[in-house]
Structure 1
């Protein structure tokens, strides 16, 4: 988390409490910690859902997995938004999406993005590894096709790490908007392919080509890609070794907008200053 901003840490604590109390059986926390105009966006679920819809969604999930437990692996706070990388474990004790209880243990990951204001959840996005979940429950079917947006990310990552910016640009909408958090010489909002690619080239120039991202996890839906990464770089006697997340909005096979958030923004600002 961004340790130099206490209000961001408080937002992270609100999100953690929201889920840990539900795990303990206290679904009343939904009414306590959500705003009157709350909205839930869950991949694969028609919505958005309001507070009542969320309550029904949670009740059904906990009936299927009564011992469900959330473990927060990473959290990144930027402004009033908290990004959480979550591990979910439980036992299949009730019907889930037409699948009778199997007694199977589930272990999957999710990426969540939560907007918090004045101690309450205003809006929440979640992307769960649904293919892995269904596979662990023994759902019938052959090997699933690779989701198109997972392939899109793999192609972008390959182009970026190869330094092939011309090929990378072909995966961006001509009017792409890229948001880089922080207060350093790389921070800002870049508009269009040319400006966005120029920001990446400057990143390589400033680090003398040492900037290297490594993928930790990738989750996708029809319109979103969430990537959790680790970056290493060197600038003279300065070293960067930090976790970060990028959220991509995708339309018709192209990235139209992206948000980049860092685990320790202060350290990143100092490195690029």
Structure 2
């Protein structure tokens, strides 16, 4: 069975993120992409526009001194321009460690990501780690 193109797009994004290839990652998104981060911490909020989203991803690496790892578990598509991913994120920040599952909900238009809604299994833990 061939993978749905929206799932393949999301997988390419995870591969680019894992290698720190912001140019390749940016090429998968529209200029007006928005990434919504839950919680109440310095990374929370609506990161609007390609530059802001890529800066968010760079900051994840900077804040964790390059220890951020994202292990993709699954990608699913609805065939109508939406895809979902589930992954486990691992990182260290100072003397704090984090290992937590996330879900991302993608909106895809014209073969590019236009919106990313992020969910976490433990918002309080996220806030403690990033706060």
Query: Offset of 1:195 from its aligned partner?
Result: 0.4
- In the TM superposition, what whole-angstrom CA distance separates every residue of 1:19-40 from its partner, at most 9, and x where no partner exists? xxxxxxxxxxxxxxxxxxxxxx
Count residues with an aligned counterpart: 130
Query: Offset of 1:260 from its aligned partner?
Result: 0.6
Matches within 5 A, 1:184-203: 184-203=41-60
The residue that corresponds to 1:258 in the other structure is 116
Q: In structure 2, what is the Cα distance between the partners aligned to 1:262 and 1:220?
A: 19
TM-score by length of 1: 0.47
Q: Does 1:269 align with 2:120?
A: no
Q: Does 1:145 align with 2:24?
A: no
Partner SS state of residue 30, structure 2: strand
Query: Which structure exhibits the higher relative contact order, with contacts defined as CA atoms closer than 8 Å and separated by 6 or more residues?
Result: 2
Query: Offset of 1:225 from its aligned partner?
Result: 0.9
- The structure 1 segments of at least 4 consecutive aligned residues displaced by more than 4 Å after TM superposition are none
Q: In structure 2, what is the Cα distance between the partners aligned to 1:261 and 1:167?
A: 24
Structure 1: stretches of 5+ with no match in the other structure: 1-143
Q: In structure 1, what is the Cα distance between the partners aligned to 2:107 and 2:18?
A: 21
Q: In structure 2, what is the Cα distance between the partners aligned to 1:153 and 1:159?
A: 10
Query: Offset of 1:147 from its aligned partner?
Result: 1.0
Q: Name which one, 1 or 2, has greater alpha-carbon Rg.
A: 1
Partner SS state of residue 232, structure 1: strand
Query: Offset of 1:152 from its aligned partner?
Result: 0.4
Structure 2: stretches of 5+ with no match in the other structure: none
Q: In structure 2, what is the Cα distance between the partners aligned to 1:147 and 1:218?
A: 10
The residue that corresponds to 1:207 in the other structure is 64
Q: In structure 1, what is the Cα distance between the partners aligned to 2:123 and 2:11?
A: 26
Q: In structure 2, what is the Cα distance between the partners aligned to 1:161 and 1:178?
A: 17
Q: In structure 2, what is the Cα distance between the partners aligned to 1:186 and 1:164?
A: 21
Q: Is the 8 A contact 2:11 2:75 kept in 1?
A: no
Query: Offset of 1:221 from its aligned partner?
Result: 2.2
Query: Offset of 1:250 from its aligned partner?
Result: 0.4
